[in-house]
A and B are shown apart, each in its own frame.
Chain A
Amino acid sequence: MIPRSRRRERAVEAVESTGLGPRDLLAEATAGILQRPARSVLTALGTVLGVGAFVAVLGLTATASSQIDARFDLLTATEVTVEDIAAEQDEFAGRAFPADADARVERLNGVRHAGVYWTAGTDRGLRVTAAPVGAGAGGRPIDVVAASPGALRAAVPTLAQGRLYDGYPSRTKQPVAVIGSGAATLLGITTLEAHPAIFIDGKPFTVVGILSDLSRKADLLLSVVVPRTTAETLWGPPARGAKMLIATDTGAAVQIAAEAPTALRPDHPEYLKAIPPPDPGTLRADVTSDLNQLFLLLSGICLVIGAVGIANTTLVAVLERTGEIGLRRALGARSRDITAQFLAESGALGSLGGLIGTSLGTVTVVGVAVVRDWTPVVHPATVAAGPAVGLTTGLLAGLYPAWRAARIQPTEALQR
């Protein structure tokens, strides 16, 4: 005989519901999906496309933005150009840059180097030759640029040979020149050991340096650069307005751009137009254009189609598996266990679609980046969001079929 207390225990144990554990739920959902693998793959396809498009759009946007970020490097961020627009303001204004322009701007806090430059003799067509007469005197299409020493230093030059003209030749208006490596080749100058001279409109200039590279204003590599003072003496003031190149400390550029016109011309700051570096925030905003929003909308539509596909297939599966649902109920599955199983199946299908879609989207981004020679950038948040979006889609799509499945009465289901 079983004692009364033991009988009570057995009774309580019998009616205590344990339900479906998480591991069993996962195993049953996986088995449900693998039951019809081809159908499962087709069902997940909508989510694959939706999530793939989502990841690809966000990834390509990030990649394109980073290209702009790359262009917007330290060099660009510390460069300010000031233009002479005096002629637009007042036809009798004359030159906007004062003679001591370099010194005025270099006094500003945060300025490393600053100098005025312009292309000299544009109105008369200066002819640069390697010899006053003879074979070397054919003349080459080489620009002559008048630049103060500060302008050259602001361009961050690398010298192959020789040196820059420093303050003295500039102050005393010496006929000296620094030439770019390209111009040197055109003029047949390979070494400075013999102190070669070039002739600009027949006037000899001693070459003191050859530039091998410039971080800014790389066009100077094909030019002959002479001191501003020398150029003004020989050929007069700039015909089309000069410019000033300012190299600043990091973060100072915008401030310097605001101050420079006043420092140069306290009487007429409006004669000068300072161009600060572009704001990176504005650039990124430009990239997130209407086109990307359109693509995101399309990926949303794909997801909705994917969700409808999952909902439809899961509903068909519920109807097909009515007998199985009845059996599970007879074996002790509560209606919430049935709900959980079908939700888990649709959720797993959605997640699977999300995972594959994320992979395909990432591959697309990498592929486009490789073709365009860009650096592919996919934010970790995008990669994490992909499967989560798939899971959410799957769960939402499974809600109605799971609810229907849970309402199936075991007595009816077992008749089938």
Chain B
Amino acid sequence: MTAPVIEFRQVGLTYPGPPRVPAFRPCDLIIERGEFVTVTGPSGAGKSTFLNIAGLLDAPTTGRYLLDGVDTGALKDAARTALRGRRIGFVFQSFHLLPHRSALENVLLAMVYNGVPRKERAARAREALDRVGLGHRTAAPPTRLSGGERQRVAIARALVTRPSLLLCDEPTGNLDTVNASTVLGLLDGLHSDGMTVLVITHDAGIAARGARTVALRDGVLTERVVTT
């Protein structure tokens, strides 16, 4: 039996303040390999805090967080960074693409910090762009791509390191419905291929696409299983 991708054991985060802000109340959560989980909740519910903890960008103040079976609480900053770089692929609402670099170069950037041999990088980047349907636009800079294409480049960048978890923060927040639908279809496809996908969204319609939805309100996480 492999370890769960995400295992929260009474993980919580309180900003020390003053005033003390319990941004994420202690909770247990297990996300197994290959799951498609959506995290939903209104603004200020603690979605960003959850993303930061799950994405190893912030450390919880209580509890234990195991990513791929690795206890992240015991890790020093460099090791946390390495784990983040190798096991988590981020997809952000605002894409975070470097405007002066081509789609291919943006995807290549993800492999720079993770010890991928240089000679393998170009092939892997092209493969990732092919996977998101942008194999023909490798040379285009983000400024010449549509919003949907930009987000697909960002997904390719997240995939190229072959992570255990695809962590998407409002991935369709900046897209029109057509492009949003394409991106969500792509995420569904990746899930079908076995990728563990975690989507954070305030949109109930998108939240409903997940096989499993976790609701957040005022820093309290409650699980509801959606049967489809």
Q: Which residues of A contact B (CB under 8 A)?
A: 1-2, 7, 10-11, 13-20, 23-24, 28, 31, 34-35, 323-324, 326-335, 337, 410-411, 414-416
Q: Is the CB of A414 within 8 A of B96?
A: yes
Q: Is the CB of A331 within 8 A of B113?
A: yes
Asked whether any CB of chain A lies closer than 8 Å to the CB of B132, the reply is no
Q: How far is the CB of A16 from chain B (nearest CB, A)?
A: 6
Q: Which residue of B lies closest to A23 (CB)?
A: B118
Asked whether any CB of chain A lies closer than 8 Å to the CB of B181, the reply is no
Report the bound CA distance from A11 to B52 in whole Å: 21
Q: Which residue of B lies closest to A7 (CB)?
A: B69
A–B Cβ pairs within 8 angstroms, 12 of them: A11-B68, A15-B82, A17-B82, A18-B114, A20-B112, A23-B118, A329-B57, A330-B96, A331-B113, A333-B113, A334-B78, A411-B52
Among B52, B69, B79, B81: residue with most chain A CB under 10 A: B81
Question: Given known contacts A24-B112, A31-B105, A334-B82, what 4 new A-B pairs fall within 8 Å (CB)?
Answer: A15-B82, A331-B113, A331-B157, A332-B114
Q: Is the CB of A14 within 8 A of B109?
A: no
In the complex, which residues of chain A have a beta carbon less than 8 angstroms from the beta carbon of B57?
329-330, 410-411, 414
Q: Which residues of B contact A (CB under 8 A)?
A: 1-3, 48, 52, 55, 57-58, 68-70, 75, 77-87, 90, 92, 94, 96, 98, 100-101, 105, 109-110, 112-115, 118, 157, 161
For B3, give its contact among A7, A35, A328 (CB under 8 Å). Answer: A7
Q: Is the CB of B92 within 8 A of A28?
A: no
Among A13, A411, A415: residue with most chain B CB under 10 A: A411
Q: Is the CB of B82 within 8 A of A18?
A: yes
In the complex, which residues of chain A have a beta carbon less than 8 angstroms from the beta carbon of B87?
14
In the complex, which residues of chain B have a beta carbon less than 8 angstroms from the beta carbon of A23?
118
Report the bound CA distance from A26 to B157 in whole Å: 21
Report the bound CA distance from A337 to B115 in whole Å: 13
Report the bound CA distance from A24 to B108 in whole Å: 11
In the complex, which residues of chain B have a beta carbon less than 8 angstroms from the beta carbon of A328?
109, 113
- Which 8 pairs across A and B sit closest by C-beta, in order of nearness? A332-B85, A18-B115, A332-B113, A15-B79, A17-B82, A327-B96, A17-B78, A35-B100
Q: Which residue of B lies closest to A336 (CB)?
A: B78
Q: How far is the CB of B110 from chain A (nearest CB, A)?
A: 5
In the complex, which residues of chain B have a beta carbon less than 8 angstroms from the beta carbon of A414?
57, 92, 96
Q: Is the CB of A330 within 8 A of B2?
A: no
Q: How far is the CB of B71 from chain A (nearest CB, A)?
A: 9
For B84, give its contact among A24, A326, A330 (CB under 8 Å). Answer: A330
Q: Is the CB of B82 within 8 A of A337?
A: no
Report the bound CA distance from A106 to B58 in whole Å: 95
For B55, give its contact among A17, A19, A330 (CB under 8 Å). Answer: A330
In the complex, which residues of chain A have a beta carbon less than 8 angstroms from the beta carbon of B118?
23-24
Report the bound CA distance from A411 to B56 in whole Å: 10
A interface SS class? helix
In the complex, which residues of chain A have a beta carbon less than 8 angstroms from the beta carbon of B85?
331-333
Report the bound CA distance from A414 to B113 in whole Å: 18
Q: Is the CB of B81 within 8 A of A329?
A: yes
Report the bound CA distance from A335 to B77 in whole Å: 9
Report the bound CA distance from A292 to B92 in whole Å: 59
Q: How far is the CB of B27 from chain A (nearest CB, A)?
A: 20
In the complex, which residues of chain B have a beta carbon less than 8 angstroms from the beta carbon of A335?
77
In the complex, which residues of chain B have a beta carbon less than 8 angstroms from the beta carbon of A337?
113
Given known A7-B69, A23-B118, contact A324–B2 (CB-CB < 8 A): no
Q: Which residue of B lies closest to A25 (CB)?
A: B112
In the complex, which residues of chain A have a beta carbon less than 8 angstroms from the beta carbon of B110?
331-332
Report the bound CA distance from A215 to B98 in whole Å: 74
For B58, give its contact among A2, A11, A411 (CB under 8 Å). Answer: A411
Q: Which residue of A lies closest to B74 (CB)?
A: A15
Report the bound CA distance from A324 to B142 in whole Å: 14
Q: How far is the CB of A232 from chain B (nearest CB, A)?
A: 92
In the complex, which residues of chain A have a beta carbon less than 8 angstroms from the beta carbon of B109?
328, 331
In the complex, which residues of chain B have a beta carbon less than 8 angstroms from the beta carbon of A11?
68-70
Q: Is the CB of B96 within 8 A of A17?
A: no
Report the bound CA distance from A411 to B77 in whole Å: 14
In the complex, which residues of chain B have a beta carbon less than 8 angstroms from the beta carbon of A14?
68, 70, 82-83, 86-87
Q: How far is the CB of B122 from chain A (nearest CB, A)?
A: 13
Report the bound CA distance from A329 to B98 in whole Å: 14
Q: How far is the CB of A328 from chain B (nearest CB, A)?
A: 7
Q: Which residue of B lies closest to A327 (CB)?
A: B96
In the complex, which residues of chain B have a beta carbon less than 8 angstroms from the beta carbon of A327?
96, 98
Report the bound CA distance from A327 to B96 in whole Å: 7
Q: Is the CB of A332 within 8 A of B70?
A: no
Q: Which residue of B lies closest to A416 (CB)?
A: B94
In the complex, which residues of chain B have a beta carbon less than 8 angstroms from the beta carbon of A15?
70, 75, 79-80, 82-83
In the complex, which residues of chain A have a beta carbon less than 8 angstroms from the beta carbon of B48?
411, 415
In the complex, which residues of chain A have a beta carbon less than 8 angstroms from the beta carbon of B78?
17, 334
Among A1, A16, A331: residue with most chain B CB under 10 A: A331
Report the bound CA distance from A187 to B58 in whole Å: 105
Q: Is the CB of A332 within 8 A of B84?
A: yes
Q: Is the CB of B81 within 8 A of A332?
A: yes
Q: How far is the CB of B98 from chain A (nearest CB, A)?
A: 6
Q: How far is the CB of A338 from chain B (nearest CB, A)?
A: 10
Q: Is the CB of B113 within 8 A of A19?
A: yes
Q: Is the CB of B1 within 8 A of A334?
A: no
Q: How far is the CB of A409 from chain B (nearest CB, A)?
A: 8
Q: How far is the CB of A405 from chain B (nearest CB, A)?
A: 15
In the complex, which residues of chain B have a beta carbon less than 8 angstroms from the beta carbon of A34?
100
Q: Is the CB of B82 within 8 A of A20?
A: no
Given known A35-B100, A332-B114, A414-B57, contact A17–B81 (CB-CB < 8 A): yes
Q: How far is the CB of B196 from chain A (nearest CB, A)?
A: 15
Q: How far is the CB of B43 from chain A (nearest CB, A)?
A: 13
Q: How far is the CB of B92 from chain A (nearest CB, A)?
A: 7
Report the bound CA distance from A2 to B100 in whole Å: 42
